[in-house]
Amino acid sequence: MEDTPASKGPSPVIQGAIFVAMTVAALGIGWFAGSYLKGSEAPPSVPAAEASQGQAAPAKDSDADPNAGPLLVPIAPMTTNLASPASIWVRLDASLVLDTPQPPDLVEAVHQDLLAYLRTLKMHQIEGASGYQHLRADLNERAAIRSDGHVREVLVRTLLFE
């Protein structure tokens, strides 16, 4: 009978060479991908003075209202229980971003509407990150409707559940 020698497989030298080649290839691909992704970042913000070069600067009106433009108005904290389960309490501290100064009646009406909305929430509606995003969208929509579009955004400063 013939004895056939058992196949040994590739030699350790060849295995080492393949390992080194794959490591170098992985490093090269990683470096290339990092360079590509770093190059696709948004350019750093340009200061306003550089951005307006070549453009006429708007004339400054000394009679212009300094309060014109967006206005941040804090509203009173809202504390209420949820619709379900009724044993869970929620406290919301928020601010409103208004397009122009508005009477306090409007801010109070938005506050009361948001409080009434919080009373209708159920815990499963606001669980997780997507629930929080839906809550913010609903608050923004209700505030815009109640204020006839004067509220640009509701900024949630604190949201606590107990």
- Picking from 86, 138, 85, the residue whose alpha carbon sits closest to that of residue 114 is 138
Q: How far apart are CA 58 and CA 51, in angstroms?
A: 13
- The identity of residue 111, as a single letter, is H
| Residues 71-161, CATH architecture | 2-Layer Sandwich (3.30)
- The identity of residue 84, as a single letter, is S
Which residues, 6+ apart, have CB-to-CB distance to 154 below 8 Å? Answer: 94, 95, 96, 97, 114, 136, 139, 140, 143
| Domains of the chain by residue range | 11-39, 71-161
What pLDDT shows up at residue 5?
66
Question: What DSSP designation does 26 have?
Answer: H
- How many other CB atoms are found less than 10 A from the CB of residue 141? 13
The per-residue pLDDT of the chain, averaged, comes to 84
Among 35-39, 61-65, 143-147, 154-158, the range scoring the smallest mean pLDDT is 61-65
Q: How far apart are CA 78 and CA 62, in angstroms?
A: 40
What pLDDT shows up at residue 57?
44
pTM metric for this prediction: 0.58
Three-state DSSP at 88 gives: coil
Mean pLDDT of 136-151: 95
Phi/psi for 142 (5° steps) reads -65, -40
Distance between the two ends of the chain, CA-based, in angstroms? 84
Instruction: Write the pLDDT tens digit of every residue in 16-73.
Output: 999 999 999 999 999 998 888 887 554 454 444 444 444 444 444 444 455 567 899 9
